[in-house]
Structures are given as structure tokens and as C-alpha cells.
Amino acid sequence: MLSSNKSLKFGDAPWARPLAQTLCFRETVVHEFVGKWRITWMETWPQDYVDLEVFGFFEFSEDGLGSFQFGAVRGWLDVRVSSRIPMLEFSWQGEDAGRDCSGRGLFDFPDPDHGEGRLFIHCGEESGVRIERIST
């Protein structure tokens, strides 16, 4: 309830805030997750496929972008990071054995060196994923 000397301004109500602000996602701050992360497990594909061409990885950069590769799938990320919990979400575009593909995904971080999440390929498969920070 508003006091008599305070007026409601546009943006004060939750429905009037931009979606990113309402969900508490920072658009460019990913410093907690910057670096390369090794894929240690995927629900849908065996590890020998994950490491087919290179060791499967996700890499997050300070500018909110990134990349990943596993098997014959590689993609470029657009990352959003939660300001409330250690979590990030991303959309991606890339290729699977030369075919264009895209999708989305997310990771929760139970501790600073491990992530657990899901990767979705639009109109295709999805998989649980575990990643581990690669020490530099």
C-alpha cells in the first residue's frame, strides 16, 4: 500500500519492469563462470562421443558470450547470469556435422568448480550435462 505522499511511478510495479530485471538476470556479468569447463557427463551421449573431436567443453567469456563443443556438435552462446543464485541460462546457434542447429540450455552450480544442467537442441534431442572447471 502506498502512503499518501508517495506516487507510483512506471516501473515500480513488477508487471511494468523489463523481464530481465524481474527475473534478476544480469546481461553481461559472467565473471563467476569465465573460463573453460570440461564436459564430464552427458545423459544422452556416451563420453567417447562427447570427446570425439576434442574434449567436450563449454567456455564462457566476460562479455556474456561463449562456445561449446561435444562430438560433432559445436555452438556459440549468448549467456544470461542470475544475480540471486549461481545459475546461468543461454541460447545458442551452431552446427551438428555441418547442419545448422540451435537451442538453449542452463546450468546450476552446486559449488564454484562444478555445474549441472540441460542442453536442448531445437526440434531435436536434449540432454543432462555435467561440467567441471578446468584449472588454468
Cross-strand pairs, 67: 59, 76
Q: Does a structural domain hold residue 31?
A: yes
Q: Which three cell numbers mark 41?
A: 557427463
pLDDT of residue 81: 87
Question: Is residue 119 a contact partner of residue 132, using CB atoms and an 8 Å limit?
Answer: no
Domain, as residue range, for 105: 25-133
Q: Does a structural domain hold residue 84?
A: yes
Q: Does a structural domain hold residue 8?
A: no
Alpha-carbon distance of 15 to 13, in angstroms, equals 5
pLDDT tens-digit map of 34-61: 999 999 999 999 999 999 999 999 999 9
Q: Does a structural domain hold residue 73?
A: yes
Alpha-carbon distance of 119 to 106, in angstroms, equals 7
Decide if pLDDT at 29 tops 70: no
What CATH number does residue 103 fall under?
Answer: 2.40.128
Instruction: Count structural domains, the chain.
Output: 1
% of the chain at pLDDT higher than 90: 65
Considering only residues 129 and 16, tell me which one the structure prediction assigns the higher pLDDT: 129
pLDDT of residue 82: 80
pTM for the structure as a whole: 0.77
Question: Is residue 48 a contact partner of residue 42, using CB atoms and an 8 Å limit?
Answer: no
Instruction: Tell me the backbone φ, ψ of residue 20, rounded to 5 degrees.
Output: -60, -40
